[in-house]
């Protein structure tokens, strides 16, 4: 199948990890992710119902191997002194934004240029987006995952 790109916008909150966890719960509850064991490619009698919890989802070996091709494939936001690792989200820093896009306060208008931010498969990124007055309004989470 290959990896899939994904991106989400959520209202701003100071705690990026709390925003991620809320988004993950919402995506899981709406079922807006790839469920390998329920795919249309399987004969109907072999399709399994979606898991009832995130824990149940990630206990499945097929999911561990293929992922969900969504924000569910990342589990936490790393801190400023941490090195991003498999299944984490790395925030764009003010210094990184200034160096690569010429401003510390990113807006929706900058999103089309976000490909300048380094990224790796199975490691998400996030950025705080500001309004024209410089007030934080949204957080964008993006990345690519799945096999």
Q: Digits of tens for pLDDT over the chain (147 positions)?
A: 578 999 999 999 999 999 999 999 999 999 999 999 887 677 888 888 999 999 999 999 999 999 999 999 999 999 988 999 999 999 999 999 999 999 999 999 999 999 999 889 899 999 999 999 999 999 999 999 988
Q: Are 67 and 146 a contacting pair, CB within 8 Å?
A: yes
Share of the chain residues as helix, strand and coil, in percent rounded to the nearest 5 = 35, 20, 40
Strand partners, 77: 89
Tell me how far apart the alpha carbons of residues 107 and 122 are, in angstroms, rounded to a whole number: 25
* Res 66: pLDDT: 93
* Res 54: pLDDT: 96
Greatest Cα-to-Cα distance within the chain, rounded to the nearest angstrom = 56
* Res 1: pLDDT: 59
| Full domain range(s) for residue 38 | 4-145
Q: Is the dihedral of CA 143, 109, 28, 76 positive or negative?
A: positive
Q: Are 70 and 27 a contacting pair, CB within 8 Å?
A: yes
Query: The whole model's pTM is what?
Result: 0.92
Number of domains in the chain: 1
* Res 146: pLDDT: 87
């Amino acid at each position: 199948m290959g990896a899939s790109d994904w991106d989400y916008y959520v209202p701003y909150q100071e705690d990026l990890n709390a925003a991620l966890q809320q988004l993950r719960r919402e995506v899981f509850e709406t079922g807006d992710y790839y469920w390998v064991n329920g795919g249309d490619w399987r004969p109907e009698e072999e399709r399994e119902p979606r898991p009832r919890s995130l824990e149940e989802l990630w206990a499945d070996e097929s999911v561990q191997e293929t992922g969900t091709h969504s924000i569910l494939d990342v589990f936490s936001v790393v801190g400023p002194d941490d090195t991003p690792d498999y299944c984490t989200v790395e925030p764009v820093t003010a210094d990184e934004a200034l160096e690569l896009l010429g401003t510390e306060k990113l807006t929706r208008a900058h999103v089309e240029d976000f490909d300048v931010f380094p990224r790796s498969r199975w490691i998400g990124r996030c950025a705080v987006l500001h309004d024209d007055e410089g007030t934080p309004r949204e957080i964008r989470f993006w990345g690519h995952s799945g096999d």
